[in-house]
Amino acid sequence: MTTASSLGGRHALVTGGGSGIGAAVAAALTARGAAVTVLGRTESRLAATVAAGKAAAHAVADVTQPEQLEAAIARLAAAHGPIDILVNNAGAAESAPFARTDRALWDRMIGLNLGAVYDATRLVLPGMAGRGWGRVISIASIAGLTGYPYVAAYCAAKHGVVGLTRALAQEFATKGVTVNAVCPGYTDTELVQGAVARIEGKTGRSPDEIRAELIRGNPQGRLIQPDEVAAAVAWLAGPEAASVNGIALPVAGGEVM
């Protein structure tokens, strides 16, 4: 297991770190000694994550705006040192039948779930390679490993994250850097709560019925917990996972293998 001090001296950046999986990841990395910065759009949530002891610092930026992201990372590096661990966690899912998936929805899903991963990784990965150590861990989804109806754009983006992960893992394998993805199933976060509310509004079904449908594919019959995803990230960030490179690790109770 990753020890409490195994990430001491490492600066970790977690995008979308103000709530849900991102906040859980920040807490797990902090518990293992990393100096964690959480980045996102909502300062109050980020500040609350820091106040709760889950992170050391925060930065406000929209990951879908490359100039904002680049400026924020430059400020963070100047203030706290270069990024050693990048967790690409920011993301969202919108659903629609493919026939009603217009270009605006498509661009939103690709921009947030894949384009922002590219931008953040491009900004920090060369520096990691130059220093001879680094971890890039992207929160993908089981939707990056299999297909689901009504979320074609989201599935395409998450498949792209997995493909990018595998390509970069090969390219940087001799540089002391590992590049991996974690693929959660339906997780007990605001994202899933929002999905339940939208489905309820469209169908009139009860929240309990909707949740039962969402977890039907999970052999364990439950939602994944954010701390379970965070534990996988912390392991991949630790020294004992130095030879784990290019994987897309499902945290989904056996829903995909």
pTM of the predicted model as reported, rounded to 2 decimal places: 0.94
User: Using one digit for the tens of pLDDT, what is the confidence trace for 39-93?
Assistant: 999 999 999 999 999 999 999 999 999 999 999 999 999 999 999 999 999 999 9
Catalytic residue among 118, 148, 150, 154: 154
Residues 19 and 53 in one domain: yes
List the beta bridge partners of residue 58.
38
Residues 135 and 17 in one domain: yes
Residue 255 lies in a domain: no
Residues 70 and 155 in one domain: yes
Task: Provide, rounded to the nearest whole percent, the portion of the chain with pLDDT above 70.
Answer: 99
Residue 217 lies in a domain: yes
pLDDT band at 2 (very low <50, low <70, confident <90, very high): low
Of the ranges 20-24, 164-168, 178-182, 195-199, which one carries the lowest mean pLDDT score? Answer: 195-199
Specify the pLDDT at position 5: 80
Q: How many Cα neighbours within 13 Å face the side chain of 177? A: 28
Residues 95 and 198 in one domain: no
Secondary structure class of 59 (helix, strand, coil): strand
Residues 87 and 195 in one domain: no
Residues 110 and 200 in one domain: no
Residues 116 and 239 in one domain: yes
pLDDT band at 203 (very low <50, low <70, confident <90, very high): confident
Residues 171 and 110 in one domain: yes
Residues 218 and 132 in one domain: no
pLDDT band at 199 (very low <50, low <70, confident <90, very high): confident
Name residue, tokens 């439950």: 222
Residues 40 and 153 in one domain: yes
Q: Domain holding 105: CATH number? A: 3.40.50.720
Residue 190 lies in a domain: yes
For residue 203, the enclosing domain spans 186-223
- Told to judge if 118 belongs to the known catalytic residues of this protein, a careful annotator would answer no
Phi, psi for 229 (deg, rounded to 5): -65, -45
Specify the pLDDT at position 111: 98
User: Using one digit for the tens of pLDDT, what is the confidence trace for 6-18?
Assistant: 999 999 999 999 9
What DSSP element (H or E) covers 79? helix 66-80
The sheet with strand 248-251 has its strands ordered as 57-60, 35-40, 11-15, 85-88, 134-139, 177-184, 248-251
